[in-house]
Amino acid sequence: MPPDDLPIDPPGTAGLALAWTVAVVLRYDAGWSKNRIWQNDPRGGHGRHLTTWARARRDELAGILRPELARVPLVHHRLWLWLHVSKPDHRSDALNCLDLVADAVQEAAGLDDRWFGLGHLGWDVRPGHGVLRLWCGQEAGAVDSNICGRCGDILPLHAFNRNAGARTGRASTCRECSTARRGQLAAERRELYDEDQPPPTGPARPW
């Protein structure tokens, strides 16, 4: 159970209207640090792998988060994280645990960590009381969305053409940008030909 001093609302949310939040708390120790989570390939290869204790911490957090996130209206949109670590001493590097926490949230939410935003990342020292507090939440009004690879805007999925081969089932460029690009390519093609030599028919090519 969370300690009595775990706030209901995450820190640093002034001016941010949230549709929902979930909060979890875990025991914190130096095993959460990224300096402790990697080991060389035990088979003698050149790769690096998560240590057993790091994998156990990641899986524990993902296991706690998964049912919590299943109860809220999680959508394909920006997911805010607020992380605060109470360290048992000042020897460990608490902020290094962010990588492992993000991996656990990604696994539990089924949402690529490119969608994560960081609302708070802080620490304090409480001798003999190592605690990791994590809040996750999304803004009110968020809907399933995609990010246009051309203009960079976050837009609802219906603003993108369908693409069965994409992970989201939608194209990576919004309809408005796709239309503008096709017009630009058509204009460039027309400039390549004289008025007496009409351009060839067929789809425009980007070269």
- Give CA–CA dist 96/102, Å, rounded: 11
Indicate if 88 and 56 belong to the same structural domain.
yes
Same domain, 149 and 70: no
Is residue 4 domain-resident?
no
Same domain, 168 and 130: no
d(CA 62, CA 57): 9
Residue 2 lies inside a defined structural domain of this protein: no
Write out the chain's pLDDT in tens, 207 residues: 344 455 556 776 767 889 999 999 999 887 777 666 655 555 555 555 677 778 888 999 999 999 999 999 999 999 999 999 998 888 877 778 898 899 999 999 999 999 999 999 989 998 888 899 999 999 999 999 999 989 999 999 999 999 888 877 889 899 999 999 888 888 888 877 755 566 666 665 555
- Whether residue 199 is contained in a domain is answered as no
- Spatial separation of the C-alpha atoms in residues 5 and 174, rounded to whole Å: 45
Count the alpha carbons within 13 Å of 98 in the hemisphere toward its beta carbon: 16
- 156 and 71 in one domain? no
CATH number at residue 156: 3.30.60
Sorted by sequence, the CB contacts under 8 Å of residue 134 that are 6+ apart come out as: 23, 24, 25, 26, 61, 81, 82, 83, 101, 105
pLDDT at 52: 79
Is residue 44, in this structure, part of any structural domain at all? yes
State the pLDDT at residue 33. 72
Domain residue limits at 164? 145-191
CATH number (domain holding residue 60)? 3.30.1330.70
Domain membership of residue 9 (yes or no) is: no
CA proximity to 75, closest of 17, 169, 157, 11: 157
Same-domain status, 65 and 116: yes
What per-residue confidence (pLDDT) applies to 192? 77
Q: Are residues 40 and 124 in the same domain?
A: yes
Rounded Cα–Cα distance for residues 50 and 32 (Å)? 11
Question: Environment class of residue 32 by beta-carbon count within 10 Å: exposed (0-12), middle (13-18) or buried (19+)?
Answer: buried
Looking at the domain assignment, is residue 203 inside a domain? Answer: no
Where on the phi/psi map is residue 170: left (φ > 0), alpha (ψ -120 to 50), or beta? beta
Query: How many folded domains does the chain comprise?
Result: 2
Residue 96 has a pLDDT of 82
Q: Judging by beta carbons within 10 Å of its beta carbon (0-12, 13-18, 19+), is residue 133 exposed, middle or buried? A: buried
Model pTM? 0.78
Has residue 10 been placed in a domain?
A: no
User: Same domain for 182 and 115?
Assistant: no
Q: Are residues 83 and 44 in the same domain?
A: yes
- Give yes or no: residues 127 and 30 share one domain: yes
Tokens for 73, please give them.
């209206």
Q: Are 98 and 135 part of one and the same domain?
A: yes
